[in-house]
């Protein structure tokens, strides 16, 4: 199975945290949000992952 993670966008609602770091890399309980998503996908045997990013493009 395949997965698509939408990680684009400015993350303005998370400001000022996202002034320096993209929202997908904001840590929650010590881990970036994106890492948590990828780990959850792997736990469900989804290893074909595409990440759509557009931070400061």
Q: Estimate to the nearest angstrom the gap between the alpha carbon of 38 and the chain centroid.
A: 8
Q: Estimate to the nearest angstrom the gap between the alpha carbon of 5 and the chain centroid.
A: 7
Give the pLDDT confidence score for residue 10 in this predicted structure. Answer: 80
Give the pLDDT confidence score for residue 48 in this predicted structure. Answer: 97
Strands 27-28 and 31-32: antiparallel
23-40 pLDDT, tens digit per residue, is 899 999 999 999 999 999
d(CA 18, CA 36): 18
pLDDT band at 57 (very low <50, low <70, confident <90, very high): low
Domain boundaries along the sequence of the chain: 2-52
Give the pLDDT confidence score for residue 6 in this predicted structure. Answer: 93
pLDDT band at 14 (very low <50, low <70, confident <90, very high): confident
């Amino acid at each position: 199975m395949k997965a698509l993670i939408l990680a684009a966008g400015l993350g303005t609602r998370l400001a000022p945290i996202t002034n320096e770091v993209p929202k997908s890399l904001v840590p929650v309980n010590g881990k970036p949000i994106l890492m948590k998503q990828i780990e959850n996908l792997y736990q469900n045997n989804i290893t074909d992952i595409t990440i759509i990013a557009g931070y400061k493009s």
